[in-house]
Amino acid sequence: MQLTVSIPDVPGALRLPPGVLNWNEEQFFRFCQANRELRIERTAKGEILVMSPAGGYSGYQSGEVFGQLRVWALQDGTGVAFDSSTGFALPNGATRAPDAAWVLRSRLAELASADKKRFLPLCPDFVIEVASPTDEISELTAKMEEYCECGLRLGWLILPASVQVNVYTPGEVRTLEAPASISGEPVPPGFVLDLRAIWNPSF
């Protein structure tokens, strides 16, 4: 199946309303696999969001976040870190790809091998989203709330433009102003993200 869509000359994601592409899970998965250079998500209502590659600063910031999480996860061993190319099939029907995510190994062990080759059918224990200049903050906020509704234990929404971090836990959201670092206690236990490179990229 070949799909050609004209992309409007506007910033942000290309949005395909529910019903435009009435794909089942298999068709949507194949579409994402055929377009690995893009970041593609699907909302619980069936809207498909196609996002272009990130700009220099945004790519560096999200890469730095994942890099720190991955290094810690390899040392800690209790969970696995995933980058933004990983899709998560949430319980509400949405498919999301956070900038960085962490899942307990005990939960991953419950999945069949076939499930691990596709979009992981669970909500991560921990996610980090980094806002880019073209992102709508209201949409990122709604996404973080969606994660929480689906079982997220901790989420960080990093806002480089305002030098803030919104911290999401079940039933609570709090804002940190220009923190130099932030701790993942109680989940992921012991992980500390150094934010200095996020606020001031080294190039």
Is residue 171, in this structure, part of any structural domain at all? yes
Confidence (pLDDT) at 107: 98
pLDDT(8) > 70? no
Q: pLDDT (tens digit, 9 = 90+) per residue, 129-185? A: 999 998 899 999 999 999 999 999 999 999 999 999 999 999 999 999 999 999 998
* Number of residues that make up the chain: 203
Q: Which residue range is the domain that position 120 belongs to? A: 56-199
Query: What was the pLDDT predicted at 106?
Result: 98
Give the residue, 159 or 189, on which the prediction is more confident: 159
- The dihedral sign for the CA sequence 152, 106, 192, 99: negative
User: Which residue is listed with tokens 């971090």?
Assistant: 165
16 in a domain, yes or no? no
The reply to whether 186 falls in a domain is yes
pLDDT of residue 91: 97
Whether residue 8 is contained in a domain is answered as no
Reported as type and span, the H/E element at residue 89 is strand 88-89
Distance CA 122, CA 102 (A): 11
Give CA–CA dist 177/190, Å, rounded.
21
Token readout for 203 is 């190039």
Q: Identify the pLDDT of residue 98.
A: 96
Q: Is residue 172 part of a domain?
A: yes
Q: How many domains does one find in the chain?
A: 1
Looking at residue 69, its pLDDT comes to 98
In-domain check, residue 166: yes
The whole-angstrom separation of Cα 100 and Cα 82 is 6
Residue 46 is assigned to a structural domain of this protein: no
105: domain CATH number? 3.90.1570.10
How do residues 9-66 score in pLDDT, each as one tens digit?
444 556 655 655 567 788 788 878 887 777 788 888 888 888 777 889 999 999 999 9
pLDDT tens digit sequence for 59-118 = 999 999 999 999 999 999 999 999 999 999 999 999 999 999 999 999 999 999 999 999
Residue 153 belongs to a domain = yes
